[in-house]
């Protein structure tokens, strides 16, 4: 029994097509972020810090760094502005004074809820443009793609 040979030209076209689709998706999402988030006066990174804390409750700087895949120094710099503008407060943990935790202020909670609603409205609009009955199919395909990208990224580490 012989194994069918892969048509290398078709494979290369597929690789190129996937690359172009991913690049286009990333660009569109970045534009969305800028447009949807900047109207609230935040950068994308500030927005996602606020949303992570809204979703999880108070988080340490290390936890935020891990969730956002950014260096601690970058998270600290971003958080400095959020603390300065009174969206976040920093608290030292009682059981370990070396660890700093970030929590939303009332102003931060209000802003994070507005951001979450704005982003949710955008994705509702996206879903409304999918063919009826295909939402689950699209979600499954995106999950497969995300898993493949994450696995490829882990291999590169």
Asked, for residue 3, whether it belongs to a domain, the answer is no
Q: What 3-state DSSP class applies to 101? A: strand
Output the CA–CA distances (angstroms, integers) from residue 44 to 40, 78, 125, in the order listed.
11, 10, 20
The rounded distance, in Å, linking the Cα atoms of 136 and 139 is 5
Q: Which domain holds residue 126?
A: 8-152
Asked, for residue 1, whether it belongs to a domain, the answer is no
Report whether 49 contacts 37 (CB < 8 A).
no
Tell the residue number behind the tokens 């690049």, with chain if given: 23
Q: What is the DSSP letter of 25?
A: H
Tens-binned pLDDT, residue by residue, of the chain (157 aa): 444 556 888 888 888 998 899 899 889 888 887 888 889 999 989 999 999 999 999 999 999 999 998 999 999 999 999 999 999 999 988 788 788 899 999 999 999 999 999 989 888 988 999 998 999 999 999 999 889 888 888 887 6
Asked, for residue 35, whether it belongs to a domain, the answer is yes
How many structural domains is the chain composed of?
1
CATH number of the structural domain spanning residue 64: 1.10.10.10
Mark out the alpha helices in 39-97 (DSSP H runs). 44-56, 61-68, 72-84
Asked, for residue 71, whether it belongs to a domain, the answer is yes
Asked, for residue 157, whether it belongs to a domain, the answer is no
Q: How many CB atoms lie within 10 A of CB 28?
A: 10
Report whether 102 contacts 88 (CB < 8 A).
yes
């Amino acid at each position: 029994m012989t194994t069918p040979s892969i048509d290398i030209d078709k494979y290369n076209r597929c690789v190129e097509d996937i690359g172009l689709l991913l690049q286009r998706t990333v660009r569109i999402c970045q534009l969305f972020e800028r447009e949807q988030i900047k109207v609230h006066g935040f950068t994308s990174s500030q927005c996602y810090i606020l949303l992570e804390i809204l979703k999880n409750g108070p988080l340490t700087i290390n936890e935020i760094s891990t969730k956002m895949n950014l260096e601690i120094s970058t998270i600290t710099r971003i958080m400095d502005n959020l603390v300065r503008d009174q969206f976040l407060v920093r608290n030292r943990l009682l059981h370990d004074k070396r660890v700093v935790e970030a929590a939303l202020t009332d102003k931060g909670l209000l802003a994070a809820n507005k951001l979450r609603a704005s982003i949710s409205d955008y994705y509702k609009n996206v879903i409304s443009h999918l063919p009826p009955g295909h939402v689950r199919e699209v979600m499954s395909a995106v999950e497969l793609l995300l898993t493949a990208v994450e696995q490829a990224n882990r291999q590169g580490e």
